[in-house]
A and B are shown apart, each in its own frame.
Chain A
Amino acid sequence: MGSEPHAAGTPEKPIDNAEHESLRLAARERILRLRNMGNRGLWAIALFLTVSIAALNQFSFLPALPEKLKDLLGAPPPTIMISGLLILYSFSSLVLILARMIGDSISHGGFYHVAYLTGFYFFYNLAGSLEDNFWAVFAAGATILSLEGYHLWTWCSRQINSEIEEFNRLDGK
């Protein structure tokens, strides 16, 4: 009598264990991926700081634009127009990030924001007014990337918590 259930359970046990282990591994991988993703915001901020340090020196390490290319590009846009666009861009970015926070949708870490902000630095530099407007672009970047990074970090932390719960459930805790 006592040996019967043992005999019946023996062939099933290794399969359960393997499934269990694969689920544990998958959960661990997801946790690692989420942890890496949560740090993306910090990478974006670090990249933006590097670009800002270059902009603080008026991109002096870059060679000057050839005259032909300058003629081809034409006159730079007026500073007031670039400033207006910066306000519009900051406002819409912040609204979009807040909307993503409300909708609990994933954020991409803000690398494309770094590209936009670098564009603003370049346009101000071409217009010859980067010195006056550097801190405006820097403040816009710091705000947008902080909010984006905060959203990504909290989103990833929540996902990690639910993965840890799943992990504990698999361990029978």
Chain B
Amino acid sequence: MIKSLAGKAIIPVAITVTGFVIVCCILLYSVMKVDMTDTAVRQATVLAGTVVKSTRYAMLQSDDENLRDIIANISSQQGVEHVRIFNKKGLIEFSSDQTEIKHYVDKKAAGCIGCHSGPTPASKLGEMQQARQFVNGKGREVIAITAPIYNEPDCFNASCHFHPSGQKVLGTLDIGLSRQPLQQSLTTMRGRMLIFTVMILILTVGGVSALLGRTILEPIRMIKNFCDALSRGDFKQTLPLLEGQMEELASSVRRVATKLEKAEMSLQEAEDRLASSERQVTGPNAASPSNDQASSRVEDPRTENRHGE
């Protein structure tokens, strides 16, 4: 069992405050991680829409060279992991990775299996469902967005084009962005929260210890020293003025000390008087028997006074 007053006071406070702050920090981190991931997904969705709109004219004109150039420029941006456009059958027509052009998308790949796990692929996806998070072949964490390229009147009415009006989706744009900036932000935030928790722990434990020491432990030490001096018979020690309930305790101890001092003094006086009366009694009759000494010892000091008178 913990015997020190400081330990008894500090341990529950430290456990409670630190534990609760850690719980709050973890939950806050979790909520912020979800919020930041959602924001990153929305930004990626907007970027995918921008790419689709940027490539629209080139697609309408069937300008493959221009389209390839646009995709190469976008993929050269920092943080863009891949850009590819594939048709409804999954044949990759344009890609930032030249080796995968004219190849079918691997439906079992980490980024595709989410929709293609069942016998029929998921056709309608919400904004958040369009996003996939996976680790690519280079070992990097990626947020990828697929944006469908819809058939529009401009497409099926154009003289040069071959898409029938009944075909709703012409192809899909797939753009993958690195999660590294998001991970960096989350790591920084986690570090800051850890520092914040440690600071709270130090402040709480330090604050409680300082207050406890100042208001309770130090006055108790002073009262103990005073009582120790009293027990040694040292009545010259004084107890300084304390505060609040500690002063109530100190004044009680002072009252006890005063009464003890008075009792000690009267006892001393009584002993002195007894000794002097003994001398008076034994002085003239030095040869008196020991019975006389015994009787004088049990004599009341007040009688000695009378004797003295």
> Which positions 9-30 of chain B face chain A at CB distance < 8 Å?
11-12, 15-16, 18-20, 22-24, 26-27, 30
Q: Is the interface of B mostly helix, strand, loop or mixed?
A: helix
Q: Which residues from chain B contact A157 at a C-beta distance below 8 Å?
A: 1
B132 to chain A, nearest CB (A): 15
Q: Number of contact residues on B: which range applies? A: 10 to 19
A113 to chain B, nearest CB (A): 13
The answer, yes or no, to whether B31 is at the interface (CB within 8 Å) is yes
Evaluate contact between B33 and A158: CB separation under 8 angstroms.
no
Contact partner of B26 (CB less than 8 A), chosen from A79, A133, A147, is: A133
Q: Is the interface of A mostly helix, strand, loop or mixed?
A: helix
Report the nearest B residue to A146, measured CB to CB.
B15
Report the nearest B residue to A84, measured CB to CB.
B27
The answer, yes or no, to whether B2 is at the interface (CB within 8 Å) is yes
Contact partner of A154 (CB less than 8 A), chosen from B1, B26, B27, is: B1
Evaluate contact between A143 and B27: CB separation under 8 angstroms.
no
Evaluate contact between A90 and B20: CB separation under 8 angstroms.
yes
Contact partner of B27 (CB less than 8 A), chosen from A83, A147, A158, is: A83
The answer, yes or no, to whether A136 is at the interface (CB within 8 Å) is yes
Evaluate contact between B19 and A158: CB separation under 8 angstroms.
no
The answer, yes or no, to whether A94 is at the interface (CB within 8 Å) is yes
> Which positions 122-173 of chain A face chain B at CB distance < 8 Å?
129, 132-133, 135-136, 139-140, 142-144, 146-147, 150-151, 153-154, 157-158, 161
Contact partner of B33 (CB less than 8 A), chosen from A98, A132, A146, A161, is: A132
B2 to chain A, nearest CB (A): 7
Evaluate contact between A94 and B31: CB separation under 8 angstroms.
no
Evaluate contact between B15 and A87: CB separation under 8 angstroms.
no
The answer, yes or no, to whether A51 is at the interface (CB within 8 Å) is no
Interface string of A60-85 (1 = CB under 8 A from B): 00000000000000000001100100
With contact pairs A87-B27, A154-B1, A161-B1 given, residues A143 and B15 touching in the complex (Cβ less than 8 Å): yes
With contact pairs A136-B23, A136-B26, A136-B27 given, residues A150 and B33 touching in the complex (Cβ less than 8 Å): no
Evaluate contact between A147 and B16: CB separation under 8 angstroms.
yes
> Which positions 65-86 of chain B face chain A at CB distance < 8 Å?
none
Evaluate contact between A86 and B27: CB separation under 8 angstroms.
yes
Evaluate contact between A83 and B16: CB separation under 8 angstroms.
no
With contact pairs A87-B23, A139-B22, A161-B1 given, residues A147 and B31 touching in the complex (Cβ less than 8 Å): no
B7 to chain A, nearest CB (A): 10
Evaluate contact between A80 and B31: CB separation under 8 angstroms.
yes
Report the nearest B residue to A149, measured CB to CB.
B15
Evaluate contact between A139 and B1: CB separation under 8 angstroms.
no
